[in-house]
Amino acid sequence: MNLADDMPKSEMLRRSLRCFVLGWWSLVPVLGVIPAALAFVDFRAVVLRKGRRWNAARTRLLLGALLAGLGVLLTGIIGTAVAIMIYNAMQASW
């Protein structure tokens, strides 16, 4: 990879911080799936195109991806719990 293919440093930092913010927003149940997907897109773009540059916001990038993963997991757990409760309520009414 040459320097022309690398992401500019300002873009790398902007996307790293955006990944962090979107990671926090992904913790909102159900609605957070969209910010989580966008956080993963930013994470992938920075990791693949940063080249040999040092990323000053590396910790926030990693934390953003972790929070996005937790948000998706949280949405899955809550969705499963709601589905089980609906199923049990339907069974009790029959």
Domain-located, residue 48: yes
**Residue 46 belongs to domain spanning:** 9-93
Per the domain annotation, does 13 fall within a domain? yes
Please provide the DSSP assignment of 28-80 as one string: STTTTHHHHHHHHHHHHHHHHH-TT---TTHHHHHHHHHHHHHHHHHHHHHHH
Residue 3 lies in a domain: no
How many domains are contained in the chain? 1
- Whether 16 is in a domain gets the answer yes
Q: Tens of pLDDT along 10-44?
A: 999 999 999 999 999 999 999 999 999 999 999 99
The pTM of this model reads 0.87
- Give 2's pLDDT tier (boundaries 50, 70, 90): low
Residue 59 lies in a domain: yes
